[in-house]
Amino acid sequence: MITLKQLSYAVAVQKTLHFKKAADMSAVSQSALSTAIAELETQLGAQIFERDNKKVLVTPLGELILRKAQVINLEVKELYQLSQSQKAPLSYPMTLGVIPTIGPYLLPKVLPEVRRQYPGFELTLVEEQSHVLVEKVRSGEIDTAILALPYDTEGLHAFTFWEEDFLVVVNQDGDYSRLKKINTDQLKDAPLLLLKDGHCLKDHALAACKLQATEVQESLAGTSLPTLVQMVAGRMGATLVPAMAVDQLVVDNAEIKAVPLDEQGPHRKLAFITRLNYGGTSNIELLMALFREQLSGV
Protein backbone atom coordinates (compact mmCIF):
# COMPACT_ATOMS: atom_id res chain seq x y z
CA MET A 1 0.00 0.00 0.00
CA ILE A 2 1.22 3.47 -0.88
CA THR A 3 1.94 5.57 2.21
CA LEU A 4 1.99 9.29 2.88
CA LYS A 5 5.60 8.95 3.99
CA GLN A 6 6.59 7.55 0.58
CA LEU A 7 4.82 10.42 -1.19
CA SER A 8 6.46 12.96 1.09
CA TYR A 9 9.92 11.53 0.42
CA ALA A 10 9.29 11.55 -3.34
CA VAL A 11 8.23 15.21 -3.26
CA ALA A 12 11.38 16.04 -1.28
CA VAL A 13 13.54 14.41 -3.96
CA GLN A 14 11.65 16.34 -6.64
CA LYS A 15 12.45 19.62 -4.84
CA THR A 16 16.14 18.91 -4.32
CA LEU A 17 16.92 16.53 -7.21
CA HIS A 18 19.32 14.94 -4.74
CA PHE A 19 18.65 11.90 -2.55
CA LYS A 20 21.02 12.92 0.26
CA LYS A 21 19.60 16.45 0.47
CA ALA A 22 16.05 15.07 0.36
CA ALA A 23 16.88 12.66 3.19
CA ASP A 24 18.30 15.51 5.28
CA MET A 25 15.20 17.60 4.58
CA SER A 26 13.02 14.67 5.65
CA ALA A 27 15.14 13.90 8.74
CA VAL A 28 15.75 10.26 7.71
CA SER A 29 18.73 8.29 6.49
CA GLN A 30 19.43 8.22 2.78
CA SER A 31 19.01 4.45 2.69
CA ALA A 32 15.57 4.66 4.32
CA LEU A 33 14.46 7.29 1.84
CA SER A 34 15.82 5.37 -1.14
CA THR A 35 14.11 2.17 0.01
CA ALA A 36 10.78 3.96 0.46
CA ILE A 37 10.92 5.47 -3.02
CA ALA A 38 11.94 2.16 -4.58
CA GLU A 39 8.92 0.53 -2.89
CA LEU A 40 6.68 3.35 -4.16
CA GLU A 41 7.88 2.81 -7.74
CA THR A 42 7.33 -0.95 -7.39
CA GLN A 43 3.80 -0.49 -6.06
CA LEU A 44 2.94 1.94 -8.85
CA GLY A 45 4.68 -0.12 -11.50
CA ALA A 46 6.26 3.09 -12.80
CA GLN A 47 9.64 4.81 -12.68
CA ILE A 48 9.44 8.22 -11.04
CA PHE A 49 13.13 9.14 -11.04
CA GLU A 50 16.10 8.48 -13.27
CA ARG A 51 19.25 8.50 -11.16
CA ASP A 52 22.93 7.83 -11.46
CA ASN A 53 26.00 8.88 -9.47
CA LYS A 54 25.86 12.46 -10.78
CA LYS A 55 22.26 13.56 -11.11
CA VAL A 56 18.57 12.82 -10.52
CA LEU A 57 15.91 13.46 -13.16
CA VAL A 58 12.13 13.22 -12.92
CA THR A 59 10.55 11.10 -15.64
CA PRO A 60 7.57 12.49 -17.62
CA LEU A 61 5.24 10.04 -15.86
CA GLY A 62 6.95 10.90 -12.58
CA GLU A 63 5.99 14.56 -13.09
CA LEU A 64 2.32 13.59 -13.25
CA ILE A 65 2.59 11.28 -10.24
CA LEU A 66 4.39 13.89 -8.14
CA ARG A 67 1.84 16.54 -9.05
CA LYS A 68 -0.83 14.28 -7.55
CA ALA A 69 1.42 13.53 -4.56
CA GLN A 70 1.77 17.24 -3.80
CA VAL A 71 -2.01 17.65 -3.82
CA ILE A 72 -2.47 14.64 -1.52
CA ASN A 73 0.18 15.85 0.93
CA LEU A 74 -1.35 19.32 1.01
CA GLU A 75 -4.88 18.03 1.61
CA VAL A 76 -3.70 15.78 4.43
CA LYS A 77 -1.85 18.71 6.01
CA GLU A 78 -5.00 20.81 5.80
CA LEU A 79 -6.99 18.02 7.47
CA TYR A 80 -4.65 18.26 10.46
CA GLN A 81 -4.88 22.05 10.46
CA LEU A 82 -8.67 21.90 10.37
CA SER A 83 -8.77 19.56 13.35
CA GLN A 84 -6.26 21.68 15.27
CA SER A 85 -8.30 24.84 14.62
CA GLN A 86 -10.89 23.51 17.06
CA LYS A 87 -8.34 23.40 19.86
CA ALA A 88 -6.73 26.22 21.83
CA PRO A 89 -5.66 29.25 19.71
CA LEU A 90 -2.19 29.04 18.15
CA SER A 91 -1.63 25.56 19.58
CA TYR A 92 -0.52 24.16 16.20
CA PRO A 93 2.89 24.98 14.61
CA MET A 94 2.84 27.59 11.84
CA THR A 95 5.36 28.49 9.15
CA LEU A 96 5.07 32.15 8.21
CA GLY A 97 6.69 33.80 5.22
CA VAL A 98 7.54 37.50 5.21
CA ILE A 99 9.18 39.80 2.66
CA PRO A 100 12.43 41.67 3.49
CA THR A 101 10.77 45.10 3.37
CA ILE A 102 8.27 44.07 6.06
CA GLY A 103 9.90 41.47 8.32
CA PRO A 104 12.64 43.51 10.03
CA TYR A 105 10.23 46.36 10.80
CA LEU A 106 6.98 44.56 11.61
CA LEU A 107 8.18 41.53 13.57
CA PRO A 108 10.00 43.39 16.39
CA LYS A 109 6.80 45.34 17.01
CA VAL A 110 4.47 42.33 17.20
CA LEU A 111 6.35 39.16 18.11
CA PRO A 112 7.10 40.05 21.76
CA GLU A 113 3.38 40.29 22.44
CA VAL A 114 2.71 37.06 20.54
CA ARG A 115 5.27 35.32 22.74
CA ARG A 116 3.84 36.88 25.88
CA GLN A 117 0.28 35.80 25.16
CA TYR A 118 1.06 32.44 23.52
CA PRO A 119 4.39 31.18 24.90
CA GLY A 120 3.85 27.69 23.50
CA PHE A 121 3.19 28.84 19.94
CA GLU A 122 5.69 27.23 17.52
CA LEU A 123 6.38 29.78 14.79
CA THR A 124 8.89 29.27 11.98
CA LEU A 125 9.80 32.30 9.84
CA VAL A 126 10.85 32.27 6.19
CA GLU A 127 12.10 35.49 4.53
CA GLU A 128 11.87 35.63 0.74
CA GLN A 129 10.66 37.94 -2.01
CA SER A 130 6.95 38.06 -2.78
CA HIS A 131 6.92 35.79 -5.84
CA VAL A 132 8.77 33.04 -3.95
CA LEU A 133 6.43 33.22 -0.96
CA VAL A 134 3.32 33.09 -3.15
CA GLU A 135 4.51 29.85 -4.70
CA LYS A 136 5.47 28.41 -1.31
CA VAL A 137 1.97 29.14 0.01
CA ARG A 138 0.36 27.65 -3.10
CA SER A 139 2.41 24.45 -2.84
CA GLY A 140 1.79 24.07 0.89
CA GLU A 141 5.47 24.44 1.74
CA ILE A 142 4.52 27.24 4.15
CA ASP A 143 1.20 27.94 5.85
CA THR A 144 0.84 31.65 5.18
CA ALA A 145 2.83 34.75 4.26
CA ILE A 146 2.72 38.47 4.88
CA LEU A 147 2.94 40.52 1.68
CA ALA A 148 2.55 44.14 0.71
CA LEU A 149 -0.39 44.79 -1.60
CA PRO A 150 -1.17 45.39 -4.36
CA TYR A 151 0.38 42.15 -5.60
CA ASP A 152 -0.94 39.31 -7.74
CA THR A 153 -2.33 36.69 -5.34
CA GLU A 154 -4.72 35.02 -7.76
CA GLY A 155 -6.08 31.76 -6.37
CA LEU A 156 -5.28 32.70 -2.77
CA HIS A 157 -7.05 34.53 0.03
CA ALA A 158 -5.58 37.90 1.04
CA PHE A 159 -6.53 39.30 4.47
CA THR A 160 -5.47 42.93 4.87
CA PHE A 161 -4.58 43.93 8.43
CA TRP A 162 -2.68 47.24 8.07
CA GLU A 163 -2.27 50.24 5.77
CA GLU A 164 0.56 52.75 5.71
CA ASP A 165 2.13 55.60 3.77
CA PHE A 166 5.62 56.25 2.47
CA LEU A 167 8.00 58.95 3.62
CA VAL A 168 10.77 60.47 1.54
CA VAL A 169 14.20 60.11 3.12
CA VAL A 170 16.50 63.01 2.21
CA ASN A 171 19.90 64.30 3.28
CA GLN A 172 19.79 66.93 6.02
CA ASP A 173 22.07 69.23 4.02
CA GLY A 174 19.86 69.35 0.91
CA ASP A 175 17.02 71.67 -0.05
CA TYR A 176 14.42 68.92 0.43
CA SER A 177 15.08 68.76 4.19
CA ARG A 178 13.48 72.19 4.59
CA LEU A 179 10.16 71.05 3.13
CA LYS A 180 7.26 69.87 5.27
CA LYS A 181 6.01 67.60 2.47
CA ILE A 182 7.40 66.44 -0.87
CA ASN A 183 5.25 65.79 -3.92
CA THR A 184 5.87 63.83 -7.09
CA ASP A 185 6.85 66.83 -9.21
CA GLN A 186 9.58 67.72 -6.73
CA LEU A 187 10.90 64.16 -6.67
CA LYS A 188 11.43 64.24 -10.44
CA ASP A 189 14.20 66.80 -9.93
CA ALA A 190 16.53 64.54 -7.94
CA PRO A 191 17.98 61.03 -8.25
CA LEU A 192 15.47 58.62 -6.69
CA LEU A 193 17.13 55.60 -5.10
CA LEU A 194 15.01 52.47 -5.44
CA LEU A 195 15.34 48.77 -4.74
CA LYS A 196 16.35 46.45 -7.55
CA ASP A 197 13.75 44.86 -9.80
CA GLY A 198 11.98 41.98 -8.11
CA HIS A 199 11.28 43.89 -4.90
CA CYS A 200 7.62 44.86 -4.80
CA LEU A 201 8.46 47.96 -2.72
CA LYS A 202 9.96 49.50 -5.86
CA ASP A 203 6.66 49.08 -7.71
CA HIS A 204 4.68 50.39 -4.72
CA ALA A 205 6.94 53.43 -4.38
CA LEU A 206 6.54 54.31 -8.04
CA ALA A 207 2.79 53.73 -7.88
CA ALA A 208 2.48 55.95 -4.79
CA CYS A 209 4.16 58.73 -6.78
CA LYS A 210 2.13 57.89 -9.89
CA LEU A 211 5.39 57.50 -11.81
CA GLN A 212 6.77 55.13 -14.38
CA ALA A 213 10.36 53.96 -13.88
CA THR A 214 11.39 55.95 -16.97
CA GLU A 215 10.16 59.20 -15.40
CA VAL A 216 12.59 59.33 -12.49
CA GLN A 217 16.30 59.97 -12.25
CA GLU A 218 17.12 56.50 -10.97
CA SER A 219 20.84 56.71 -10.29
CA LEU A 220 21.51 53.45 -8.45
CA ALA A 221 19.52 50.48 -7.20
CA GLY A 222 19.96 48.99 -3.75
CA THR A 223 19.38 45.51 -2.39
CA SER A 224 17.80 46.57 0.91
CA LEU A 225 16.20 49.54 2.64
CA PRO A 226 19.19 50.06 5.00
CA THR A 227 21.46 50.24 1.96
CA LEU A 228 19.26 52.86 0.30
CA VAL A 229 19.19 54.94 3.48
CA GLN A 230 22.99 54.86 3.71
CA MET A 231 23.16 55.99 0.11
CA VAL A 232 20.97 58.97 1.03
CA ALA A 233 23.31 59.75 3.92
CA GLY A 234 26.11 59.74 1.35
CA ARG A 235 24.32 62.44 -0.68
CA MET A 236 23.56 60.12 -3.59
CA GLY A 237 19.86 60.99 -3.81
CA ALA A 238 16.54 60.45 -2.04
CA THR A 239 14.53 57.32 -1.36
CA LEU A 240 11.14 56.24 -0.05
CA VAL A 241 10.55 54.10 3.02
CA PRO A 242 7.33 52.81 4.59
CA ALA A 243 6.22 54.53 7.78
CA MET A 244 6.73 51.31 9.74
CA ALA A 245 10.46 51.39 9.06
CA VAL A 246 11.18 55.02 9.93
CA ASP A 247 11.95 54.46 13.62
CA GLN A 248 14.65 51.90 12.75
CA LEU A 249 16.11 53.49 9.62
CA VAL A 250 15.95 57.23 10.14
CA VAL A 251 15.37 58.44 13.71
CA ASP A 252 18.89 57.89 15.05
CA ASN A 253 20.72 59.06 11.92
CA ALA A 254 21.56 62.76 12.12
CA GLU A 255 22.56 62.92 8.44
CA ILE A 256 19.10 62.18 7.06
CA LYS A 257 15.49 63.23 7.55
CA ALA A 258 12.11 61.65 6.72
CA VAL A 259 9.61 63.96 5.02
CA PRO A 260 5.98 62.89 4.35
CA LEU A 261 5.16 62.06 0.74
CA ASP A 262 2.47 64.48 -0.39
CA GLU A 263 0.47 61.98 -2.44
CA GLN A 264 -2.85 60.37 -1.57
CA GLY A 265 -2.49 57.21 0.53
CA PRO A 266 -2.48 54.59 1.80
CA HIS A 267 0.58 53.77 -0.28
CA ARG A 268 0.68 50.08 0.58
CA LYS A 269 -1.39 47.49 2.45
CA LEU A 270 -0.08 44.59 4.52
CA ALA A 271 -1.91 41.28 4.26
CA PHE A 272 -1.72 37.62 5.19
CA ILE A 273 -2.13 35.32 2.19
CA THR A 274 -3.39 31.75 2.55
CA ARG A 275 -4.72 28.95 0.41
CA LEU A 276 -8.47 28.90 -0.17
CA ASN A 277 -8.89 25.72 1.89
CA TYR A 278 -6.39 26.57 4.62
CA GLY A 279 -7.65 25.15 7.92
CA GLY A 280 -5.98 27.67 10.23
CA THR A 281 -7.93 30.78 9.25
CA SER A 282 -9.07 31.39 12.83
CA ASN A 283 -5.41 31.63 13.92
CA ILE A 284 -4.71 34.09 11.10
CA GLU A 285 -7.60 36.25 12.29
CA LEU A 286 -6.23 36.14 15.84
CA LEU A 287 -2.78 37.22 14.67
CA MET A 288 -4.25 40.00 12.57
CA ALA A 289 -6.11 41.44 15.56
CA LEU A 290 -3.01 41.21 17.74
CA PHE A 291 -0.84 42.85 15.06
CA ARG A 292 -3.30 45.73 14.67
CA GLU A 293 -3.28 46.37 18.40
CA GLN A 294 0.51 46.50 18.55
CA LEU A 295 0.87 48.66 15.46
CA SER A 296 -1.75 51.16 16.58
CA GLY A 297 -0.33 51.31 20.11
CA VAL A 298 -3.55 50.11 21.74
Domain total of the chain: 3
Q: Are residues 122 and 149 in the same domain?
A: yes
In this predicted model, what pLDDT tens digit does every residue of 16-27 receive, in sequence order? Answer: 899 989 899 888
Q: Are residues 122 and 141 in the same domain?
A: yes
Task: Flag whether pLDDT at 182 surpasses 60.
Answer: yes
Q: Are residues 172 and 254 in the same domain?
A: yes
Start-to-end C-alpha separation, the chain? 55
Q: Are residues 218 and 76 in the same domain?
A: no
Q: Are residues 241 and 201 in the same domain?
A: yes
pLDDT tier at 173, thresholds 50, 70, 90: confident
Q: Are residues 186 and 255 in the same domain?
A: yes
High-pLDDT (> 90) share of the chain, %: 39
Range of the domain at 118: 94-155+276-296
pTM exceeding the 0.75 threshold for the entire prediction = no
Burial of 82 (0-12, 13-18, 19+ CB in 10 A): middle
Contacts of 70 (CB under 8 A, 6+ apart): 11, 139, 140
77-81, 203-207, 224-228, range with greatest mean pLDDT: 224-228
The CATH number assigned to the domain holding 34 equals: 1.10.10.10
Q: Are residues 171 and 250 in the same domain?
A: yes
pLDDT tier at 203, thresholds 50, 70, 90: confident
Q: Are residues 99 and 245 in the same domain?
A: no
Which of 20-24, 42-46, 173-177, 219-223 comes out lowest in average pLDDT? 219-223
265 part of a folded domain = no
89 part of a folded domain = no
Alpha-carbon distance values, 297 to 109, 116, 216 (Å): 10, 16, 36
Is residue 21 left, alpha or beta, with left meaning phi > 0 and alpha meaning psi from -120 to 50?
alpha
What pLDDT is attached to residue 264? 84
Task: Flag whether pLDDT at 55 surpasses 70.
Answer: yes
Q: Are residues 250 and 170 in the same domain?
A: yes
Q: Are residues 243 and 171 in the same domain?
A: yes
pLDDT tier at 293, thresholds 50, 70, 90: very high
Mean pLDDT for all residues in the chain: 87
The CATH number assigned to the domain holding 213 equals: 3.40.190.10
pLDDT tier at 220, thresholds 50, 70, 90: low
Q: Are residues 56 and 102 in the same domain?
A: no
